[in-house]
Every structure is written in structure tokens, then in C-alpha cells.
Amino acid sequence: MTNPDLDLPPYDVQRLLSAPFPERVRLVCRSWAAQINPNPFIVLVMYWAKYLILFVGGWAFFVSFAADYPGIGSPGAWAFTAVAFQKAILWAIFYESAGFGCSSGPMNARFSPPIGGFLHFLRPGTTKLPLFPGLPVFGGFRRTWLDVALYAANQLFLLRVLVAPEVTPELLAPSFILIPLLGLTDKTLFLAARAEHYYVALVCLTVASGDVLWISACKVIWCSIWFWAATSKLNHHFPSVIMVMMNNGPFFPKNLKKRLFASYPDDLRPSRMAISMAKVGTFTEYMIPLMLISSESALVTGFALFVMCLFHGFIAVNNPSGMPIEWNILMVYGGIFLFGFNPEAGILALDAMPWLVAFLFFCMFVIPCYGNFVPSQVSFLMAMRYYAGNWAYNVWLFRGDSSKKLAKLTKASGTMREQLEGMLPDAETVDAALVMSLAHRFMHLEGRPLLDALPKAVDHIDNYEWMDGEILCGMVLGWNFGDGHLNDAQLLRAVQEQCGFEEGELRVITVESQPLFGRTMAWKVVDAKSGIVEAGETEIAPMRALQPWPTGEYAEAVARGRAGATG
């Protein structure tokens, strides 16, 4: 009999692969928690080279086309000018829409090729998610040459502005029109352009006359993002995010990592330290906009900006998986430019354009407010519920080898298994890598509804291949960034239309976010051919007492599967 005091990772691969599903999840969670530096150093170097050389370097290159550019050797004279900020916004839209940003690289399960983006969006026949399915011209599930042309046109128009000596409304007008049009034909493209942030800023740059007005408008955008991001963390989910992120962080003190857990290795819930860190982070994120928007003192503003830099810098250096570090860089740069270099631009100046105030109120208050209270109706990006650990997500379960039917889809990359098979030495290593991906869902509190849903989904979980919807979304749609609404029922219909799964071959568990101040997370089990199989809600508060893996009656229910379900 195994001594539990000595039964610590690393585990034999065969033990990991052959264990019953509840035990396998326990071993995976323990293995993940035991890691000191989960991401290889070379991966971190690659990402930081991307952030600094491609993102920051690309921005600096395009700023060099500005009129009266003093030269690269005088950054103090050009880095915080109006045109530099404007080009930062435009470069960020181009960069994310091209697939270079949050949706790229091995930390987002992209190995070969390391990006989707333009490789997918410029390819006719790839899968897309129209805003209104069935709409003439734009409502199909497969990308047409017109879709490709519109995407290419927007990228070219953005490049045209980036190399222009100044940014003018006339140059911005095409993207002002094209980005919403792209959202009509494919919701993915609208979200990839970070419509809740970058596109709203582009609108302000296009329509607000005078430096003071568009700068004032952008101050509202920045402060709204901080406010709603903090508000979205008013839940019990965020401590598990801190726990996961810090354990994954390359610079978080190694001797503190085990203290992130209530009692490693047996109790892998967030510790008091993780909970306290979550509360401090939420408080800090609330205080940043409050101080910046109300300050009339250069000293207070300077202190708030210093705290803001530490806040985003702390996130960035810990390289959380899937987190767009480029976005954090832009938040820091934008905060310094807007509040540090333009203190005279007050938000009250916006009363000169009441309709712009109405637009900002709708985008920066109405949409995120509704999205926090009714998350099923709004993308977590549009609701500004960033990295709060309370996301909609989906798990796709393929019976046997039925996932091979995905080969019928036109796409730029293979499944995660297919990508890893070209990189790892043998099938056992590939299987082990795929099994370890279970930790991402189960280590977060939001994974607990799976304990209720899994037994209702399939008859024997070990007969199914587990594929996280987030990873599948990146392959099928060419872009992904944590939005479960991109890989739920609509994507399932698009995939079924092209692949034709038989009943029982593909089951998808869809889990919706917990509403702000709500009690439950709603879930459904959907069969690709026959539709909804089961639906329910999981109350989150009692789930906080459970370990990430199935135990007791939950383990028995998962083992029985639908054969023992009572409905």
C-alpha cells in the first residue's frame, strides 16, 4: 500500500494514464501544484522577445514616420506625444487582429504554427461565427472571399495610418466602419480587435475634435477598465486565480509557492495568503482610477501612476497563461500618457460633445454592467471581466477516435494532439502532456460545476477524449482568449454542420459564468446531433469546501456516468 506521506510527484507516466478519472485528476492537480517553474525558461524568453521586440519595437518603428520625429535616440521627445499614443492604439488593433498577441504561442496551446490569426482569417472556407446566422451574404459558418477581402482591407487601412505622418479622422474612417462590419460577419474578429477597449478608443480618436476631448475620452476608457476589472473580482473565484498564477510565476519566491495552497499536497484550495493577495489586488485596482480621476495634485497623480505600474508589472512578470502582456504594457503606457503628460485634460470637458458622452456611457457602463449581472448575454471581454477566474467555458468530449472527423474542417493548424505528435518523442509523452491540461480547469473554483455535469454527460469518461473548448476554439476559429461564448453551442452547430458527428460521438459541457452577486453557475450538456441532454445549476458556495478533483459521491457519480444518472 502506498504511503500517502511519500506519495508525491513526479508520478510514473503509466500510473497517471491508467488511473481512473477521479484519481487521474487528483494526480494531475498534485503534479501541477508541485511544479516550481512550469514554463521552460526558453518559452518565457521567447514571449518577452515578442513583447519587447515585436510589440514595443513595432510601435516605435511606426512612430518614426510621424512628422517632426526627432530620432530614435530621443525617446523623451517622441514616446509620449499624441501621435505616439494614437499609433499605439492602432498598432495594438493590427497586432491582435493579425494573431500576434494573446492568442499566440505555446502558453496558449499553439505549437505549430505558433499563431492563428491571419493564417486563418485570410483562408476561405475556415469556420467563423456570424453575429446573425443565416443572414444573407454574411450569415454563413464558412469564410468567403468577401470575408477575406474585408479583413485584409482593414489590416491594410490600419497599416496606412501607421505609416502616415499624422493620424487624421479621414485615415481612421475605414477602420471605424470596417471593424463593426467584420463583427457582423464574424464575432471572433470583433473581439480580436479588442472592441471593448481599442475600438472604443479608435472611435474617440476619429470623432472627437481637439486634443483635450479625445484625451479626456480615453481617460474615461482607462478608468472604466480598471473599475470593471476590479468589480468582476468581487467573487470567490479570484483567490484560485492568484493561487494558479503565482504558482506558475517564474519570479514568485519558490519558498512561498507551497503556501499558496491551504495545505499542500492534500488540500489544494487557495490558502489565506492567496485570499489576502486577491483582496489586496482588488482594492488596488479600485484605488488606481479613483485617485487618477479625482486628483488635482501632481504628487498624488505620480503616486497613483507608480502604483499602477507596479500593479500591471507584477501581473506581466508572472506571465499568467493566456494573459495578454501586451495589453498590460499598453495600459501602463496609456495611463502615464493620459494622466501624467496630460493632467489638464479633464473628463468634464466632454460635455462639449454630449453624444460622445452617451456613447462612452453605453460602452463603458451599460454593456459591462449588464454583462456582469447577466454574463450569459455578453462576452466577458465586452463586460471587462478580465482574469477574475469567473469565465464561461466548455469541455468537448469525443467518443473513441471520433475527433478525427475534425479533419473535415478547413483550418490553419491541427488539434493539440496532432501538433504535439510532431514535437514529442512518443505517444505516451503526448498522452501525458494532454492529461496535464486537465489542471487548468480543475484547479480553478469555476471547474467545480464539472463535478455535477460530468456524470450527466457521458456513460464512461475514459471512453472519451477530453478537449478543452478554449484550445479547440483556437484551432477551429483561428483566435481564442478565454471567451467561452466562442466555443459553445453556436460553434458546435458550425462544427456539426461540417463534420456530421453521430449521436453520442460528441458531447459538449457548457458552463456559464456566475453572475455578479449571484449564487450559481449554470451548465448544460449538449449532444452535437440531438441537442441538449441535461441542464442544471451548481451553487458555488458549498463547492468551496471541495478539493479540485472528484471525491466521495462525486467520484462515484463520475465513475457511473449516465448509466447511473437519475436526470
Q: Judge if 407 and 380 occupy the same domain.
A: no
Mean per-residue pLDDT over the chain, rounded: 93
Q: Answer yes or no: is pLDDT of 3 > 90.
A: no
CA dihedral of 110, 312, 90, 55, whole degrees rounded to 10: -50
Q: Assign 252 a pLDDT band (cuts: 50, 70, 90).
A: confident
The predicted-structure confidence for 354-394, as pLDDT tens digits, reads as follows 999 999 999 999 999 999 999 999 999 999 998 899 999 99
CA atoms within 13 A on the CB side of 336: 16
Q: Judge if 251 and 161 occupy the same domain.
A: no
Which of these three, 334, 363, 388, is where a domain ends?
A: 388
- The radius of gyration of the chain from alpha carbons, rounded to an integer in Å, stands at 24
Which of these three, 388, 406, 435, is where a domain ends?
A: 388
Let me know if residue 408 belongs to a domain.
yes
Q: Which strand ranges, in their side-by-side order, compose the sheet holding 520-527?
A: 464-468, 393-399, 506-511, 520-527, 531-539
Let me know if residue 31 belongs to a domain.
no
Q: Judge if 464 and 520 occupy the same domain.
A: yes
pLDDT given at position 133: 96
Distance CA 395, CA 70 (A): 53
Q: Which three cell numbers stand for residue 462?
A: 475514459
Phi-psi region of 169 (alpha: psi -120 to 50; beta: other; left: phi over 0): alpha
Let me know if residue 383 belongs to a domain.
yes
The predicted-structure confidence for 66-91, as pLDDT tens digits, reads as follows 999 999 999 999 999 999 999 999 99
Section 471-495 average pLDDT: 95
Let me know if residue 452 belongs to a domain.
yes
Phi, psi of 296 (to 5 degrees): -115, 10
Q: Assign 36 a pLDDT band (cuts: 50, 70, 90).
A: low
Predicted structure pTM score? 0.95
Q: Assign 271 a pLDDT band (cuts: 50, 70, 90).
A: very high
Strands (E), 219-270: 261-263, 267-270
Let me know if residue 199 belongs to a domain.
no
pLDDT given at position 567: 35
The lowest-confidence range among 138-142, 178-182, 201-205, 247-251 is: 247-251
Which of these three, 388, 405, 424, is where a domain ends?
A: 388
For residue 41, count other CB atoms closer than 10 A to its CB: 9
The lowest-confidence range among 106-120, 213-227, 462-476, 492-506 is: 106-120
The predicted-structure confidence for 132-176, as pLDDT tens digits, reads as follows 999 999 999 999 999 999 999 999 999 999 999 999 999 999 999
Q: Judge if 480 and 506 occupy the same domain.
A: yes
Distance CA 373, CA 389 (A): 16
Q: Judge if 183 and 67 occupy the same domain.
A: yes
Task: Give Cβ neighbours of residue 553 (< 8 Å, ≥ 6 apart).
Answer: none
The predicted-structure confidence for 278-318, as pLDDT tens digits, reads as follows 999 999 999 999 999 999 999 999 999 999 999 999 988 88
pLDDT given at position 102: 85
Section 484-500 average pLDDT: 97
List the domain range (segments joined by +) for residue 327.
210-388
Q: Judge if 498 and 354 occupy the same domain.
A: no
Q: Judge if 407 and 305 occupy the same domain.
A: no
Let me know if residue 234 belongs to a domain.
yes
DSSP string, 27-89: HHHHHHHH-S--S-HHHHHHHHHIIIIIIIHHHHHHHTTSTT---TT-HHHHTTSHHHHHHHH
Q: Judge if 182 and 225 occupy the same domain.
A: no
Let me know if residue 479 belongs to a domain.
yes
Let me know if residue 183 belongs to a domain.
yes
Q: Judge if 316 and 398 occupy the same domain.
A: no
Q: Judge if 411 and 532 occupy the same domain.
A: yes
Q: Judge if 171 and 52 occupy the same domain.
A: yes
Look up residue 389 and give its DSSP letter.
S
Q: Which three cell numbers stand for residue 100?
A: 500576434
Q: Judge if 404 and 546 occupy the same domain.
A: yes
Domain count, the chain: 3
Whether the Cβ atoms of residue 406 and residue 250 lie closer than 8 Å to each other? no
CA distances from 78 to 57, 82, 88, 145, 423 (A): 14, 9, 12, 40, 44
Section 228-235 average pLDDT: 96
Q: Which three cell numbers stand for residue 489?
A: 453551442
pLDDT given at position 176: 98
Section 104-115 average pLDDT: 88
